[in-house]
Structure 1
Amino acid sequence: MASDQENSPQALEFFAGIGLARIGLQQAGIGVSWANDYEPAKRQMYERQFGAGHFHLGDVGKVAAASLPKNTALAWSSSPCTDLSLAGSRGGLSSGESNAFWQFIRVLTDLGVDRPGMVVLENVVGLGTSHGGDDIAAAIRAFNNLGYSVDVLMIDARRFLPHSRPRLFIVGSVSVPVCVEEGESVLRPSWLNWIYADPTLRTHRMPLPTVPDLLSTGFSELVSSSAGAVVDWWNQERISAFEDSLSAIQLERMILLRQREEVVYRTAYRRTRGGVATWEMRPDDIAGCLRTARGGSSKQAVVELGRGRMRVRWMTPKECAALMGASEFNLGDARVNQALFAFGDAVAVPVVRWLAENYLRPLMTSN
């Protein structure tokens, strides 16, 4: 069981999920003294991993600032991936679960002088373009009004793991770092440049080291490392239906991989095209983005190919944990769908660690 160091900077973790952000922060020497989420199933997994004591179950709208620990250095918010309004639905920041964002702002406002010196908001990349940029501009202004200067980064978990998972990170700091003027970069792509050029927004660019290149392999190795686990491979009738649903391009890809001498693994999603369910298999040795699995279309299948044969099964919770950089996570007796949903709604551990080590801790030290 992980424990926070008593003398380390402490963080408040909103929308904590099962605590993957906490693991990444801890690895960088930042503790978590308070966590909140509204789903009992996630609290169960969180407390199995970290123990009971500081996970507060309930709606963030009912969180009172007076009940929070004081002298914290960071407020981390991993907004729910089911929060489609943040990603571009018609309602924008005023609808759906995105109202939770304004409750997050309310709590920070109510903290007053006890407000953490830094904040991080993690969300899907679509937040950067939804409503022509109005949503992210509103979020930045909300942080500006609380005294934070803001930086915006896009980091894909694929730079650390065989898992395609790009995410936006809005980093706010009361103390503005020495800034850099730069053009397009992998962390701040050109479509984010308008944010820094907008004179109504208070922003900065923290100088950062080069982030690792995107991985192109690794999923087959990840699956092979857990080859001894008991899994349920589909029967021939189900595999035939899978094969029959493939498009001509997908079918050709499958045949070529099946003919290889070495065994490889690919991931596949079920799509609906023109009212017909079809399967689409990734061409590379990288897993597709884990999702909040509430139905079959959100679950990812694993396809084993090579030596003249093909087998198919659902991805396991342990594989999902490994794809999020949490291979040692204590799954205990968590139900399969409970675990799949939890990991699909989480943030990748090594991304949090990289951000904390290269951005948050250095700025905390300079502060």
Structure 2
Amino acid sequence: MNRNASPVFYEFFAGGGMARLGLGEAWTCAFANDFDPVKAATYRDNHPGAADHFHEGDVWKIAPADLPGQADLAWASSPCQDFSLAGARAGLQGGRSSAFFGFWKLMEALSAEGRAPRTIVVENVVGLLTSHGGKDFQALCQALADQGYAFGAIEIDAAKFVPQSRPRVFVIATREPPPPAILGSCSFQTTGICMAFARLPSHLRAKWLWWNLPLPPPRNTDLASVLEEDSEVHWHNESQSDTFLALMGPSHRTRVEELAALPGRKVGAAFRRMRQENGQKHQRLEVRFDGIAGCLRVPSGGSSRQSLVIVENQRIRSRLISSREGARLMGLPDTYKLPKSTISALHVIGDGVVVDVVKWIKTHVLERLLYPTTVAESPVGKIEKRPRSRASGF
């Protein structure tokens, strides 16, 4: 890479281009792809010049010749449904997540041509770590090792940055020795990450890197801060709200009524769950008032579209979350152009990666890998418990 040029990246399974937004304007996107027409249209709407490098279609049908030059980074937010704890856990053999191997076929081809990306990031749900008893994660690590990459993983909950609980795993791989300053212990090496490392065979543990990222400053926003004005959104009518709130179990209902008796405005995130009660499954509405939304999902998956419960002046109201509110919870600016259909907008948002998380990884790992002698040193976080082995893989 020309050290005076901006770093170049490929963005696979790009969705609406949220990873690109996190990497920022100083990075140059040479190629991006997604097979979903709605996501592809949203990507083009928000990234001028995308027509020159965006490829709409199945990753399996992309040829190495379609990828220009040699990238400093390949970012892959591969489909997560088959890894999700809310799904059927089909693993890497599942129809959607097998798209990863379509991406990896291209990485292998680039390697054979001598133009493999210097770094790779694979982003997915936390279920990746345990899918099929850890065998899927091992398969991913083996694929990286076979192409000369050393690698490590971190688990970041977006709630550190935005008022949304959204834990994700980021596997970061490199072909070059990283500067020692970005290796060590940090809070993003969770118990799940450490257990996944421990399950790997010794030859893969020897390729492992313990990425060291600092914790961000305390978040100064909450769920209430991202909401639109009451007059600009559609509320449940009284009958709809009564039916909706009737799904709450006794403990949640009591909590809402207690808050209604207190002064001030309280905002709760509400989502439906199937709960076992007296040997039978019942749909229940659960509400959290800790200032954080639950994990946003595509409208057809998991808890589906999230709702809000607003308690104010002894009045309890409810409504669905809007697409703009969802976008803000993903770290997207209000200038980001969403599909006109709310369902389509939430489809794009629910499959995305939080922009602020990408920025943090870029600043504290990726740019320090690419520019090890020019990026300023940063303080690092710590964790108390970690595996004893700290093999660097180099």
Q: Could you tell me the TM-score, scaled by structure 1's length?
A: 0.90
Q: Which runs of 5+ in 1 are unaligned?
A: 1-5
Tell me how far 1:278 sits from its aligned partner. Answer: 2.4
Aligned to 2:266: 264
- Aligned mates of 2:165, 2:119 — CA distance in 1: 28
**Pairing 1:200–2:235 present:** no
Give matches, 1:55-134, under 5 Å: 55-84=54-83, 89=88, 91-112=90-111, 113-134=114-135
Answer whether contact 2:59 2:103 (CA < 8 A) is retained.
Answer: yes
Number of the residue aligned with 1:286: 292
Distance (whole Å) between structure 2 residues aligned to residue 205 and residue 23 of structure 1: 26
| Matching residue of 1:219 | 223
The share of aligned pairs that are identical, in percent, is 36
Aligned partner of 1:3 in structure 2 is none
CA distance in 2, matches of 1:293, 1:90: 19
Instruction: Spell out the pairing of 1:180-329 with structure 2 (5 A cutoff).
Output: 185-196=186-197, 198-201=201-204, 202-212=207-217, 215=219, 218-223=222-227, 226-227=228-229, 230-273=232-275, 274-294=280-300, 297-329=303-335
Shift of 1:261: 1.5
Does the 8 Å contact 1:321/1:329 carry over to 2? no
Asked whether the 8 Å contact 2:158–2:164 carries over to 1, the reply is yes
Q: Does the Cα contact within 8 Å between 1:86 and 1:130 map onto a contact in 2?
A: no
- 1:298–1:88: structure 2 CA closer, same or farther, 3 Å change rule? closer
| Alpha-carbon shift at residue 246 of structure 1 (Å) | 1.0
Give the CA deviation at 1:87. Answer: 8.3
Worse-matched range after superposition: 269-278 or 345-354: 269-278
Q: In the alignment, is the contact (CA less than 8 A) between 1:82 and 1:292 conserved in 2?
A: no
Judging changes above 3 Å, is the alpha-carbon distance between structure 1 residues 355 and 296 closer, same or farther for their aligned structure 2 residues? closer
Corresponding residue of 2:38: 41
Map of 2:367 onto structure 1: 361
- Aligned-pair distance for 1:366? 2.7
Deviation at 1:102?
1.0
Residues in 2 aligned to 1:296 and 1:93: alpha-carbon distance in whole angstroms: 19
Matched residue type, 2:101: W
C-alpha separation in 1, matches of 2:296 and 2:230: 23
Shift of 1:327: 2.7
The answer to whether residue 12 in structure 2 is matched with residue 24 in structure 1 is: no
Rounded to whole Å, the distance in 1 between the matches of 2:293 and 2:86 is 22
Please state how far the C-alpha of 1:308 moved relative to its aligned partner. Answer: 0.8
Q: Which amino acid aligns with 1:72?
A: A
Greater alpha carbon shift after TM alignment, 88-97 vs 231-240: 88-97
Q: Output the amino acid matched with 2:127.
A: G
Task: Please give the alpha-carbon distance, in whole angstroms, between the structure 2 residues aligned to 1:38 and 1:163.
Answer: 27
| Alpha-carbon spacing, 1:90–1:332, altered in 2? closer, same or farther (3 Å) | closer
Report deviation, 1:178: 4.0
> Do the aligned residues in 1 keep the contact of 2:79 with 2:99 (CA within 8 Å)?
no
8 Å Cα contact 1:86-1:135 kept in structure 2: no
List alignment gaps of at least 5 residues for structure 2. 374-394
- The one-character-per-residue Cα deviations of 1:197-227 (angstroms, maximum 9, x if unpaired) are 54221111233333445x596111222xx21
From 7, 10, 13, the equivalent of 2:8 is 10
TM-score norm. by structure 2 comes to: 0.84
| Preserved CA contact (<8 Å) 1:270 1:278 | yes
Deviation at residue 239 of structure 1 after TM alignment: 0.9
Is the 1:38–1:57 Cα contact (8 Å) retained in structure 2?
yes
1:252 and 1:32 map into 2 onto residues whose CA distance is 51
C-alpha distance after superposition, 1:84-114 (max 9, x if no partner): 4798845421222121111111000011211
- CA deviation vs aligned residue, 1:106-163 (integer Å, no higher than 9, x gap): 0000112111100000000111112221111110110111111001000111001111
Coordinate RMSD, CA, aligned = 2.3
The amino acid of 1:200's aligned partner reads H
User: Structure 1 pair 90/289, CA: closer, same or farther in 2 (3 Å)?
Assistant: closer
